[in-house]
Amino acid sequence: MSKKELLAKALDWSGFNSLARTAALWNGLIVLNYHRVGDIDGSLFDHELWSASAEDFEQQVHFLSLNFDLIRISDLDHLSNRHRGRHILITFDDGYLDNYEWAFPILKAYNSPATFFLTTGFLDERKVAWWDEIAWMVRSATQNTLPENPWTKTAVSLKPDDCDGSIKTLLSVFKKLPGDKTDDYLNFLAEKTGSGRCPQEIADQVWMTWDMVREMHEAGMDFGGHTVNHPILANHPEEKQRFEIEHCKQRIETEIGQTISAFSYPVGGKDCFDLRTRNCLKQAGYRWGFSYYGGFSRHGIHDQWDIPRIAVESEQPATLFRASVSLPQVFC
């Protein structure tokens, strides 16, 4: 158990978290980021993408709805004029099918808004995301070891007991690659793991459809852009960034019949977007850009192109989740 988990448990047990919520020890905006909701067991894909079980997600939404002001993207304009209030924005990235099957009914049940950032190419082309394909190749490997190579420098174990750590290692390599080298890397892994590339038909069981998106939109959910193909934007030239940003926006607007104003950066670390990315967002007509490296926004202090989000993770204890939104200045 980490120090933060121990502290969160102690604060919860002592009743201080409840007092913090009542006393409103912070004011501003917390943006929570989810990816997948549901049962992780048996999946060959990246387990790190599961944010919560359906049961945990329902408990979280119930807790948030009782203690905070759950807002929509359209409310962001008004926050700069407020000096008090604890606002929570729930967001999802990518467009996974379980967002519709599990998260959407729960959000409706609690009358809670949420924003879903879509990678439009996944919905259109029904292809497996690069992080899930890397995980699939490792978990489907017919070899026990990835030999020393120019990509990873050292050998990487492909044994079942080492899968989680090996997947993280291989993903970290991908994230640092120039954009024109990523396909070569995936083809290398496909060959050396012995798994081949992930079959295309598997992806059809992974993503939402546009009919689902429209149903969610009509029910009050918001949507934003997350590129066409989910590249790490800063690793690409400006022309490629502009294509990913503009075509994603156009595709979503065509399907839902409404202008969108928000965008979340793929991967979302400080090195995953740059000044060129910001300029592309402005030129495309976006008004908000969301990152993904932790933190929260105090009233009156925010960068509209770098609104921080905190990750919700499946292994996060309920006490730590409650502490994160009750005392973000300590836990975020």
Residue 13 pLDDT exceeds 80: no
Q: What is the pLDDT of residue 23?
A: 65
Other CB atoms within a 10 A radius of the CB of residue 289 amount to: 23
Q: Angle of helix 210-218 relative to helix 238-256, nearest 10 degrees? A: 60
Q: What is the pLDDT of residue 1?
A: 67
Of 316, 322, 329, the residue nearest 12 (C-alpha)? 322
Residue 138 pLDDT exceeds 90: yes
Burial of 7 (C-beta count, 10 Å sphere; 0-12/13-18/19+): middle
Q: What is the pLDDT of residue 16?
A: 65
> Residue 239 contacts by C-beta under 8 Å, 6 or more apart in sequence?
none
Signed CA dihedral, 238, 240, 245, 246: sign only: positive
**pLDDT grade, residue 300 (50/70/90)?**
confident
Task: Compute the distance between CA of residue 268 and CA of residue 290 in angstroms, rounded to an integer.
Answer: 8
**pLDDT grade, residue 205 (50/70/90)?**
confident
Residue 20 pLDDT exceeds 80: no
The whole-model pTM stands at: 0.94
Q: Dump pLDDT digits (tens) for 271-281.
A: 999 999 999 99
Virtual CA dihedral for 14, 18, 19, 23, nearest 10 degrees? 160
**pLDDT grade, residue 81 (50/70/90)?**
confident
Other CB atoms within a 10 A radius of the CB of residue 298 amount to: 13
> Residue 149 contacts by C-beta under 8 Å, 6 or more apart in sequence?
188, 192
Q: What is the pLDDT of residue 301?
A: 65
Of the CA atoms within 13 Å of residue 105, those in its CB half-sphere come to 8
Q: Dump pLDDT digits (tens) for 150-196.
A: 999 999 999 999 999 999 999 999 999 999 999 999 999 999 999 99
Please state the domain extents for the chain: 3-124+206-331, 130-197
The more confident residue out of 211 and 4 is 211
Residue 206: alpha-carbon gap to chain centroid: 15
Over range 54-61, report the average pLDDT. Answer: 97
Q: What is the DSSP string of 154-210?
A: S-EE-SGGGHHHHHHHHHHHHHTS-GGGHHHHHHHHHHHHS--SPPGGGGGGTB--H
Signed CA dihedral, 189, 191, 192, 194: sign only: positive
Over range 132-152, report the average pLDDT. Answer: 97
Q: What is the pLDDT of residue 103?
A: 98
Q: Dump pLDDT digits (tens) for 241-261.
A: 999 999 999 999 999 999 999
DSSP 126: -
Other CB atoms within a 10 A radius of the CB of residue 245 amount to: 27
Of 50, 44, 40, 43, the residue nearest 92 (C-alpha)? 50
Residues forming a β-bridge with 215: none
Fold held by 3-124+206-331? TIM Barrel (3.20.20)
